[in-house]
Copies of this chain bind each other. A is one copy, B any other.
Amino acid sequence: MQHPELFPKIDRPRRLPDEIAKNISSAIEAGQLKPGDRLPTEQSLSDQFGVARTVVREAISLLKYDGVIQARQGVGAFVTEARQRSAFRISPACFEKRKQLVQLLQLRTGVQADASALAATARTVGQLAGIESFLQEMVSAIAQGDDAVERRVDAEFAFYRAITEASSNDYYVEFIGMIEAKIFENLHSVAVKNAKATEWGTAVLAEHQAVFEAIRAGDTEAARKTTRDHFERAAQRLADRADIADV
């Protein structure tokens, strides 16, 4: 990947159903449609939006999938209580405002720290070795200097992914993986830029090493704390640099 920051993601020609779904969804968030309310009929919606009913149906099926609305054949589609959503997703909008980004990174920090804590007792020797290898990778990448920044960032991701897997809890793997992917997708270039700018090396590396030591020692609380320390600092660095609205 070369110069990823030069060609930022473009808005692909959006699919109609996604567009419709977003429209309805934001109408619900805005309170124009409250829980319990009935949606207009599919026919009416397809008229209003000027699209075929199949498109409206796909849109609605997405919202049903997330538990935002519920449809009863012969009756209609209704907005469900806000409580019973059945999926957790991170929209691109989360990366637009600093406050949201900070909150997201806060959640990630906490979960990741827990994963480390679990890994401290659950990890096998094989997994420990795998984790250590990524630490070595980071050391070597740092020694190589600026040319290997990408490699270093990748190793960092891999390091914590290996730790997460060592927690032997599939939900942690899945959840962190999802958040990770979204952060990667939206902030990777920032992370790399950041890594280049930071007096890379000793300071940050020491944070990782502390995490590793805690996991090797099987010290649950230390693993949690060291991981939390690192990610809080990383979040700080990221949020400071990410060029987003300060709201």
Contact = CB atoms under 8 A, between A and B. Distances in A.
Contact of A178 (B85, B117, B174): B85
Contacts of A58: 57-58, 61
A54 B56 CA distance: 12
A172 to B, nearest CB: 6
Mostly, the A contact residues are helix
Nearest to A104: B171
A181 B111 contact: no
Interface in A47-74: 54, 57-58, 61-62, 65-66
Nearest to A62: B65
Contact of A175 (B54, B65, B88): B88
A18 to B, nearest CB: 8
A103 B62 contact: no
Interface of A: 17, 54, 57-58, 61-62, 65-66, 82-90, 100, 103-104, 106-107, 110-111, 113-114, 117-118, 169-172, 174-175, 177-178, 180-182, 185
